[in-house]
Amino acid sequence: MTSELLIKNGRVIDPANGIDKKCDVLIIDGKIAEVGGKTEDRGQKPAPSAAQGTEDRRTVIDATGRLVTPGLIDIHVHFREPGDEEEETIASGSAAAVAAGFTSVVCMPNTNPTIENETDVEYIHRKARLARKTHVYVMGAVTKRREGIELAEMGFMAEAGAVGFTDDGSGVQDPAVMLRALKYAAMFGVVVAQHCQDNGFAGDGVMNSGYYSTILGLPGIDPLAEEAMLWRDIQLVKKMPSGRVRYHAQHISTAGSIELIRTAKKESLPITCEVTPHHLLLTEDCVAEYDTNYKVNPPLRRAKDVEALKQAIADGLIDALVSDHAPHLQSEKELEFLAAPFGIASLECAFALFVKALIEPGVLAWPGLIELMTARPAKIIGVDKGTLGVGKQADVTIVDPDAEYEIDVNKFRSKSRNCPYHGWKVKGKVEKTIVQGEIRFEA
């Protein structure tokens, strides 16, 4: 039995192949079979095979007025399993992901226990297969228990399919440990991702340091905490023999970081970086009412940092857009500002938020946005995804770019509601998410 899925008349945007045109996409048995204008003619429904008594399945989707893109990829999410299943599980996070158009996500290892060996990686993969929604990849920890001292089982994790290493939640403080991690990961050709934050500078800070932290009486995190570690890591990358080393700066948030990235890229260093929606849409003054939904790490910065990030995106310096989806229990977020955990649950509205931050003000055109949510993040984690190339696994997202809606956290598939965007009016709605040729979400 053959199964066919024909997506007709959409605006197909496939940046990896330089495609942006109105045409059809034909999927046969879970793979992209054809992208072009004549798929309908050739697709005459074959006669059912009488011999086996089975019938070929053919589904047609009319995508007129819609964007048809490679399945979106988010290389930075927290699904909280194992350990904090009341906040999110692989199953609930996966359901949220496909509802948000993401056909691949990468889970961070700061779970409880930490993802630090091959069994842990396999555990996540197994849970994801059972959930049968989105592809779930894993980054393993750089160091055991994320303590920054002893390297985790990076080799075994790489063999088990880990697509990167990070101690996300904190940065690797000791430069000698970080250098060893870069050397070791390079042997496997796996990227090392860093939550750039020097603990000495960051201290007990809970928001950006400056005017607002002073008047609110809250300890601040200086932008230097991020920039110092990023600068240090760039020096470490320079020390590495060129070849397989790859370094990725997670959720960069300051104008100073942008300048460091700009210089590093001019020198053609193997460095990539990512940006979150909150660092593009929110600023430090949001914290003024002590609403812990705005407590995030790295913290919300100044308007001039937001402008620098947008300029960097327009200049092509940013490699990926990520949600850094960080679900938390309401009871925890209701603690006072100092005690509440960091993080925003934003996976389910991430696409529309990036539309608001980047398409609406004209920072990017559609192909540019789609590239930063498909082909380029796929390259960072080294997976054969993010394209509609013929023969590739058919992960496809269909979006109505003009549909307006209001973000309602009560409709989230995610288990958590710590989201400051509740009630926001946004544009750009995911209508269908197709994973391996199967419609896994339909609005």
Binding residues vs Zn ion (CB under 5 A): 168, 195, 324
Q: How far is the CB of 196 from Zn ion (least distance, A)?
A: 9
State which residue, 63 or 207, has the beta carbon closest to Zn ion. Answer: 207
**Phi, psi values for residue 291, rounded to 5°:** -75, 115
DSSP secondary structure letter of residue 97: H
Q: How far is the CB of 35 from Zn ion (least distance, A)?
A: 34
State which residue, 209 or 276, has the beta carbon closest to Zn ion. Answer: 276
**Quick check: 169 and 146 in contact, CB under 8 A?**
yes
Q: How far is the CB of 121 from Zn ion (least distance, A)?
A: 18
To the query of whether residue 319 is one of the catalytic residues in this protein, the response is no
Largest CA distance in the chain: 79
**Residue 366 and residue 22: Cα distance in Å, rounded?**
14
Select which of 167, 324, 395, 400 is catalytic: 324
**Residue 318 and residue 253: Cα distance in Å, rounded?**
11
State which residue, 324 or 348, has the beta carbon closest to Zn ion. Answer: 324
**Phi, psi values for residue 381, rounded to 5°:** -90, 0
423-427-428 Cα angle (round to 5) = 125
Q: How far is the CB of 195 from Zn ion (least distance, A)?
A: 4
State which residue, 324 or 371, has the beta carbon closest to Zn ion. Answer: 324
Q: Give residue 11's identity as a one-letter amino acid code.
A: R
Q: How far is the CB of 402 from Zn ion (least distance, A)?
A: 32
When CB distances to Zn ion are compared, the closest residue is 195
**Residue 65 and residue 9: Cα distance in Å, rounded?**
8
Structure-block tokens of residue 431? 């209508």
**Quick check: 170 and 197 in contact, CB under 8 A?**
yes
State which residue, 195 or 376, has the beta carbon closest to Zn ion. Answer: 195
157-158-159 Cα angle (round to 5) = 90
Residues 67-97 as b/e (b if ≥16 CB within 10 A, e otherwise) read bbbbbbbbbbbbbbbbebeebbbbbbbbbbb
Please report the sign of the dihedral spanned by the C-alpha atoms of residue 367, residue 368, residue 369, residue 371.
positive
**Quick check: 273 and 318 in contact, CB under 8 A?**
yes
Non-local CB neighbours of 415 within 8 Å, separated by 6+ positions:
86, 87, 88, 89, 92, 327
Q: Angle of helix 255-266 relative to helix 223-239, nearest 10 degrees?
A: 10
State which residue, 11 or 195, has the beta carbon closest to Zn ion. Answer: 195
Q: Cα dihedral angle (408, 412, 418, 424), rounded to 10 degrees? A: -20
**Residue 389 and residue 374: Cα distance in Å, rounded?**
13
State which residue, 146 or 440, has the beta carbon closest to Zn ion. Answer: 146
Catalytic residues: 324
